[in-house]
Amino acid sequence: MTPYEKFDKINKKGLLMNKKILIDLGKRLYDKNLTVATSGNLSIKTNECIFITATGTSLGNLTEDDIVSMNTEAQELDGKKASSEKILHCEIYKQRPDVNVIIHTHPVYLTSFASCHKALNEPIMSETVLYFEDIPVADYAMPSSLKLVKNTVKYLKQKDVVMMANHGVIAIADNIEHAFSKLETAEYYAHVTLNALLLGGGKHLSHNDIKDLMKLKKGLG
């Protein structure tokens, strides 16, 4: 029995539901200017397999045929070609069992900071201190390469949002809404940081302010 024949026994309703989830997510990202043209890729992990966008697809205009099913070893199960970043997705899922959704896109402001190799680590907004503490930049490596996987996953063991030098950003979470919220908030953080720099530089929260925020974060769980 071929991998596809085995996979084809999965409940059809669940298969279509997960494809629709990624289609809807791609449209939301496009509508919010968090993705452009055919850049980026998405995936969702289920008990049966990993659903990932196909290579060369536009996230804002996905169809069911643009969603590929693969196993945790990045082997396609349905005869279609998955995103070239499929190994990165699989490795993240292996390193972070708590993660079920991965978003990789090239939004304008985060990609601008990534292109300058500038981490987002200025404590100028209480919300982003609570949400991220900081957003690092993984060292540059060729897209789709094993070196890119190594450079990026190193940070994602501790962080949920990481910029990729001269490339874009990746956000991970336990569900779709959390992943989308993290990416949207990170792009907002990058936008505000840039505006603050243009206005002469944001005023940092004090050390005591940050300590209080960390206490609040711990209390909120």
Residues tagged active-site: 85
Rounded CA separation 168/105 (Å): 6
Pair 172, 108: CB distance under 8 Å: no
According to DSSP, residue 65 is labeled: G
- Long-range residue pairs from 55-59, CB within 8 A, at least 24 positions apart, any chain: 55/81, 55/82, 55/83, 55/84, 58/26, 58/30, 59/26, 59/27, 59/29, 59/30, 59/35, 59/105
Rounded CA separation 212/131 (Å): 14
Which tokens belong to 143?
Answer: 């897209």
